[in-house]
Copies of this chain bind each other. A is one copy, B any other.
Amino acid sequence: MDKSPFTRIEKGGVTSPKGFTAGATYAGLKKAGQDKLDLTLLYSERPCAAAGVFTQSKTCSPSVTLSRQRIARRAAQAIVVNSGCANACVGPQGLTDAKDTTILAAKKLGLSEEDVLIGSTGMIGVELPMALIRSGMQKISLTATAGPSFAKAIMTTDSHPKEQALKFQMGGKEITVGAACKGVGMIHPDMATLLCFITTDAAVEPGFLQAALKNAIDKSLNMVSVDGDTSTNDTAIILANGAAGNRPIKAGTKEAALFQQALIEVAVPLAKMVARDGEGATKLMEVTVEGAASAADARLAARTIASSPLVKAAVHGGDPNWGRIMMALGRSGAAVTESKLSLYISEICVFDKGVPIAFFKEAAVNSMKESSVAILAKLGLGSHSATAWGCDLTEEYVRFNTEYST
């Protein structure tokens, strides 16, 4: 196996790349007793190339609308994020509040408001408490070691922060990529994930940066499903500030391929962390589909299996009830020919080219007691493959979401 060009940075995150600082505070948007950070800033000392992918929801948050508009310039220098309030479905006030929040951040940082992006997550249908945001903003101080605080401040129902960072060499320069991400309910992203922020000190040509981000998210966070519900606020943003001193990375080059791979290497572990931390989840489910007739079919089949409530419940119970996997494949819309299809649960073949296998059930049950369960479907129709990540469906998920607002 080739040695990986990438070195993981232990406890690294959005402030690992050169020239990025962050800060966070408790402004009072979350309930007392919950995690005590809910307003945070991410800042680059230099102007950045910027790219983003966002929810396809038609009731998206004005925070998304504003960031989508501003990122069209392919440039930005800071991001302000609040948790506890999604700033969604509140009428025209939502866009006013989103703008005002970026103005407060811009004044504090000495930037033009156009250079500040915004992300919001939390309860839908309540207005941003602007007085709290205003006083909270004043309390934030920026440091180059506050990546973990940023990661903590963007959380809502997450049980722990989700960060990644790695470094690699490119043309004699050391490049670092860092990221923070949060889940973990309403997770079935469509063109984006809930909130994911990636920083890098690489210099990157903005058009390529957008394409590389889209491709990395499509192979990672867009392949996660916790509950099949898509948020109003999904946002993934990357800022590239060029502090590493490399020549700007252009599409189609060897450097572009390396940078693309670095983004995927950062995003895939985050995707698995989101799935494993799904509301109420006790297990990670990794679904791989091979031999699909098209790339779209492979993605569709893998995501449909990973999001089927009946498959998720079977994984929770450690029940190798593979008929449910067949059912999900059958309804996915992907081309499936039963006589060419084989199925594996944790590497145990349960269905071979159209015929059920008398597998040793106890072995399958035992393998499903592990904290990760692997499902593999070989469609035998082509050369395309995809992997999706999900989690088990638990009584705790229902209990949690039954009690959320009352």
Kindly identify, within residues 225 to 262 of chain A, every residue whose CB is under 8 Å from any CB belonging to chain B.
Answer: 227-232
Shortest beta-carbon distance from A230 to chain B in Å? 4
Any B CB within 8 A of the CB of A107: no
Interchain CA distance A365-B174 in the complex, whole Å: 57
Q: In which size bucket is the chain A interface?
A: 35 or more
User: With contacts A336-B59, A402-B314, A402-B316 known, is A323 near B356, CB below 8 A?
Assistant: no
Any B CB within 8 A of the CB of A3: no
Given A228-B309, A230-B327, A317-B402, 14 more A-B residue pairs with CB atoms under 8 Å apart are A59-B330, A89-B326, A89-B356, A91-B354, A124-B326, A124-B327, A227-B310, A313-B397, A314-B405, A316-B398, A319-B402, A319-B403, A320-B405, A321-B405
Return chain B residues, CB-CB under 8 Å to A124: 323-324, 326-327
Interchain CA distance A258-B168 in the complex, whole Å: 73
Q: Which chain B residue has the least Cβ–Cβ distance from A125?
A: B323
| A327 & B57 in contact (Cβ 8 Å cutoff) | yes
Any B CB within 8 A of the CB of A322: yes
Interchain CA distance A322-B393 in the complex, whole Å: 23
Contact with B along A119-162 (1 / 0, CB 8 A): 00001111000000000000000000000000000000000000
Shortest beta-carbon distance from A31 to chain B in Å? 15
Return chain B residues, CB-CB under 8 Å to A320: 405
Q: Which chain B residue has the least Cβ–Cβ distance from A127?
A: B356
Return chain B residues, CB-CB under 8 Å to A397: 309, 313, 398
12 A-B residue pairs with Cβ-Cβ distance under 8 Å, sorted by A, are A58-B338, A59-B327, A60-B330, A89-B323, A90-B355, A230-B331, A232-B327, A314-B405, A316-B398, A318-B406, A319-B402, A393-B401
Q: Which chain B residue has the least Cβ–Cβ distance from A355?
A: B91
Interchain CA distance A394-B395 in the complex, whole Å: 8
| B404 & A327 in contact (Cβ 8 Å cutoff) | no
| B404 & A393 in contact (Cβ 8 Å cutoff) | no
Return chain B residues, CB-CB under 8 Å to A355: 90-91
Return chain B residues, CB-CB under 8 Å to A91: 339, 354-356
Interchain CA distance A270-B236 in the complex, whole Å: 45
Interchain CA distance A188-B399 in the complex, whole Å: 23
Any B CB within 8 A of the CB of A56: yes
| A229 & B125 in contact (Cβ 8 Å cutoff) | no
Interchain CA distance A317-B406 in the complex, whole Å: 8
Contact with B along A380-406 (1 / 0, CB 8 A): 000000000000011101110111111
The answer, among B89, B321, B401, for a CB contact under 8 Å with A351, is: B89
| A88 & B406 in contact (Cβ 8 Å cutoff) | no
Shortest beta-carbon distance from A49 to chain B in Å? 30
User: With contacts A229-B309, A232-B330, A330-B59 known, is A404 near B319, CB below 8 A?
Assistant: yes
The answer, among B58, B86, B125, B406, for a CB contact under 8 Å with A356, is: B125
Return chain B residues, CB-CB under 8 Å to A404: 313-314, 317, 319, 321
Return chain B residues, CB-CB under 8 Å to A232: 323, 326-327, 330
| B59 & A326 in contact (Cβ 8 Å cutoff) | yes
Kindly identify, within residues 185 to 227 of chain A, every residue whose CB is under 8 Å from any CB belonging to chain B.
Answer: 185-186, 188, 190, 227
Interchain CA distance A73-B222 in the complex, whole Å: 46
Any B CB within 8 A of the CB of A329: yes
| B310 & A229 in contact (Cβ 8 Å cutoff) | yes
Shortest beta-carbon distance from A55 to chain B in Å? 8
